[in-house]
Structure 1
Amino acid sequence: MTEGADHPLIWIGRADYGRLLRAAEGLAARAPELSAVLSRELERAIVRPDADLPRSVVRMGSRVLFRRAEGDSAEWGVLVYPDQTATEGRIAVASPLGAALIGLRKGDRMAYLDADGTTRRLSVERVLPA
């Protein structure tokens, strides 16, 4: 059950969805490109009660093992809201990588445009719930 080879179905809990919508709106003036990317992901999301989401879904606060592109080393990161500090090991959802990760599940692959303009093929290897 996928939306397409480059954009698999994504799942987002209701609480995260509401907060992410507000974050995308807040980004519109100062970072319109990031706001647009995050908004597009939210538009295609399947929104469910938080308790109904599988544990393998990348949510806000999830610790996720991923590869930015085939052949890259696997990295661990924690997905954080735009108002939280994105330090090493923390990935802001208001970044191209963060917007691509939200809602994916273990085993999903997704093409995304990285901050430097390079198209990459992200893959999710493991998700640890928040």
Structure 2
Amino acid sequence: MTEGTDRPLIWIGRMEYGRLLRAMDRLAVQAPEVSAFLSRELERAIVRPEGDLPRTIVRMGSRVLFRRDDGMPPEWGELVYPDQSPKDDQITVASPLGVALLGLREGAHMPYSDADGITRRLMIERILPA
């Protein structure tokens, strides 16, 4: 996964943080690269009580409109936990894209490596709170 100083600030609620730590531990065996990426993101996250978070951040259960790369059409998705069976428009946080979306604000850009190892840059256009 991509490292660097071009990563925006991210915010995560305390309750989500605990559940994401447990998910990270379970992912360590089946998806070690995703687990490592999630670990790095959780380490740099601003963790606050849910009521103190900005309204326009990508949280678990949020519907988000984003672009994977400049020039690509926007996509809607809902961020879900790994223990949920994702439906067509849902994105699991057990994927590189799901981890990259986590905690971002509208207008943020985030680099990440997709499941094929291709470096992408996503941009958040709109967030509908959970």
Query: TM-score, normalising length from structure 2?
Result: 0.95
**TM-score normalised over the length of structure 1:** 0.95
- Aligned length, in residue pairs: 127
- What is the aligned partner in structure 2 of residue 82 from structure 1? 82
Deviations 1:68-96 (A, max 9, x none): 11111000000000000122100001100
* CA RMSD, Structure 1 to Structure 2 (Å): 1.1
Output aligned runs, 1:34-113, within 5 Å: 34-113=34-113
Partner of 1:32: 32
- Percent identity (aligned): 69
What are structure 2's unaligned runs of at least 5 residues? Answer: none
SS in 2 for 1:29: helix
- Deviating above 2 A after TM superposition, structure 1's stretches of 4 or more consecutive aligned residues are none
Query: How many Å separate the matches in 1 of 2:108 and 2:27?
Result: 27
SS of the residue corresponding to residue 71 of structure 2 reads coil
Is 1:18 matched with 2:18? yes
Match of 1:7 in 2: 7
Deviations 1:45-80 (A, max 9, x none): 000000111110000000000001111100000000
Please list every run of 5 or more consecutive structure 1 residues that lacks an aligned counterpart in the other structure: none
